[in-house]
């Protein structure tokens, strides 16, 4: 079954850290770039971070630069998001998301930065 | 940053009716726009990419059009399962991509 399963969310105080994980199954994880996208309660969607299929290119939205670190373990089909110095405004459901672009043996197909597979999300609550 | 403005915020329609959703960009995004559907308690689902291409498994009643700054998602005949929130997303100037604020399609 093609799916993404997130874990690691929870309730923390401002300034604390959390590490989110996302295990992929049913597809070749190492062939896709991956993203984290978040959604504050009752609000819209915000892109957080991107990592290329080989981990060599990484991007962050400005509000998390210097605090969040994205990484991946292709041998275990797992995506991570290390979140440090958490703020109240980081409270959200965090979705692990697959990039639509597919790369195999250095040849890529499809246009990237579209999100074609989403996990169910993990809730991060930062509260004082 | 490119701002995407969706209208209307809420669309009240009956099953079988046609739904027309709008997404306007603050500057041109070429054709690099996607539409997603989100139902309560669920993750979003990709419907349309590159303005008019349906994602695999998406019913033909969903269609997208537009280019530049003005885009439309049309649902030709609403099914009960189509009542949801719809978001547009641009990827023209990645990594500074952005989402619209959403349009809720509710049962009238």
**For B27-81, what is each residue's pLDDT tens digit?**
999 999 999 999 999 999 999 999 999 999 999 999 999 999 999 999 999 999 9
Greatest Cα pair distance, chain B, in angstroms, is: 38
- What residues 3-32 of chain A have any CB closer than 8 A to a CB of chain B? none
Residues of A within 8 A of B43 (CB-CB) are: 95, 118-121
Per-residue confidence band for B15, with pLDDT thresholds at 50, 70 and 90: very high
Average pLDDT, chain A: 96
Q: Does A112 touch chain B (CB under 8 A)?
A: yes
Residues of A within 8 A of B36 (CB-CB) are: 45, 115
Q: Does A45 touch chain B (CB under 8 A)?
A: yes
Return the pLDDT at A106: 82
Return the pLDDT at A19: 98
For B43, the closest of A47, A61, A95 (CB atoms) is A95
Q: Tell how far CA A74 is from the center of its chain.
A: 14
Going by the DSSP 8-state scheme, the letter that residue B92 receives in this structure is T
pLDDT tens-place string over residues A57-114:
999 999 999 999 999 999 999 999 999 999 999 999 999 999 999 988 889 988 899 9
d(CA B6, CA A35) in angstroms, rounded, equals: 23
């Amino acid at each position: 079954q093609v799916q993404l399963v997130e874990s690691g969310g929870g309730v923390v105080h401002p300034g604390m850290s959390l590490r989110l994980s996302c295990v992929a199954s049913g597809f070749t994880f190492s062939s896709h770039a991956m993203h984290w996208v978040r959604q504050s309660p009752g609000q819209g969607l915000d892109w957080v971070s991107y990592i290329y299929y080989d981990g060599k290119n990484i991007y962050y939205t400005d509000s998390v630069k210097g605090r969040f670190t994205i990484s991946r373990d292709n041998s275990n089909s797992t995506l991570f998001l290390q979140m440090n110095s958490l703020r109240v405004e980081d409270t959200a459901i965090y979705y692990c998301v697959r990039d639509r672009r597919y790369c195999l043996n250095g040849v890529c197909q499809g246009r990237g930065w579209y999100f074609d597979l989403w996990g169910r999300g993990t809730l991060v609550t930062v509260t004082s | 940053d490119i701002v995407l403005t969706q209208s209307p915020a809420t669309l009240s329609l009956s099953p079988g009716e046609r739904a027309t959703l709008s997404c306007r960009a603050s500057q041109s995004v070429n054709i690099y726009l996607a539409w997603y559907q989100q139902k309560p308690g669920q993750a979003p689902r990709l419907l349309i990419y590159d303005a008019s291409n349906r994602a695999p498994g998406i019913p033909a009643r969903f269609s997208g059009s537009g280019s530049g700054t003005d885009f439309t998602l049309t649902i030709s005949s609403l099914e009960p399962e189509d009542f949801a929130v719809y978001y547009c997303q641009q990827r023209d100037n990645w990594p500074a991509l952005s989402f619209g604020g959403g349009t809720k399609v509710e049962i009238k």
